[in-house]
Structure 1
Amino acid sequence: MSMVEKYNEKEQQEFVGFRFHPTEQERISYCLRRNKVAKTSNKVLELEDKTDLYAKEPWRLSHRETDFFKPNEWYYFVTLAQVSGNRKVKGETCEGHWKALGKLSDVVSKDKREVIGKKRILSFYVKGENNSSGWTMTEYYTLDGGSFQTHVLCHLKGP
């Protein structure tokens, strides 16, 4: 039984020290497929839809304060159209951009028999700086019949 399933099974109980830390397979199958594609409601795992993820500096994004996630770590849903657009940021404190660290890679099922999704890792660079700011984001896409769905799960981590 996966960590997410165990938590949902006992969601009425309080878990001291519990953190949301799903595997890549759970991010695709549980977070994206069940919550967004199938539109199955889950009161425990209500991740935010974000319309300004690529418009603000990562440290200026609003988010729900909760002990469910690690400090400086959040998950957001965005649309595929937002991901396909410009990843340049003209923020309040600086300008910068999200730079892909390699190409889109496969996320395979636990039994490694099929590709269930794709992921891309990005790093945030402040304009004029040669080194990354330390903020990273992994975008997760689910596949349906070989084509992408309309929602993307973004896992944002700060330094």
Structure 2
Amino acid sequence: MKIPIGFRFHPTDEELVVHYLKRKALSLPLPASVISEFDVLGTHPWSLPGEVNEKRYFFSSRGRDGGGSGGYWKPIGKEKPIIETGSNEVVGMRRALIFCGRKPSNHTNTRWFLHQYRLLHFNSTQVI
């Protein structure tokens, strides 16, 4: 995905859910083609496309929570509601996950962290 020089994609949780995730779930056109499709949960975090020091966004079909034999994504904390400003309704949820590497003797947390978004009434698509 090629983004124009100077372009910064810095959406709020509400914008991600209402303007991207919901529209994607309803097969409507997106405001911009800045979020690509990628199997995030089935990929090692160091293999994700994009710049390591930048935030990255992906649409990913609901699937396995593993990252292959090198580890798995583990939910941490509680899900947080995402509220739409105009209606004051909860339109989605956000949960945090951390990548845990598998070692022979134990499972250790890494510094790889992601937010997973879901719509309340459409569980088939996620933005990460």
Partner of 1:20: 9
Deviation sequence 1:10-32 (CA, Å, 0-9, x none):
xxxx9753310100000000111
In structure 1, C-alpha distance between the alignment counterparts of 2:80 and 2:56, rounded to whole Å: 21
Q: Which runs of 5+ in 1 are unaligned?
A: 1-13, 155-159
RMSD: 2.7
Q: Which runs of 5+ in 2 are unaligned?
A: none
The structure with the greater share of residues assigned to helix is: 1
In the superposition, the TM-score normalised over structure 2's length comes to 0.78
Partner of 1:10: none
Percent of matched pairs sharing the same residue:
26
Contact 2:37 2:59 survives alignment (8 Å): yes
In structure 2, C-alpha distance between the alignment counterparts of 1:149 and 1:99, rounded to whole Å: 19
Q: Secondary structure at the match of 1:135?
A: strand
Contact 1:19 1:70 survives alignment (8 Å): no
In structure 1, C-alpha distance between the alignment counterparts of 2:4 and 2:34, rounded to whole Å: 17
CA pair 53-40 structure 1, distance change in 2 beyond 3 A: same
**Greater Cα radius of gyration, structure 1 or 2:** 1
Shift in Å, 1:90: 2.4
AA aligned opposite 2:81: D
In structure 2, C-alpha distance between the alignment counterparts of 1:112 and 1:102, rounded to whole Å: 27
Shift in Å, 1:75: 1.0
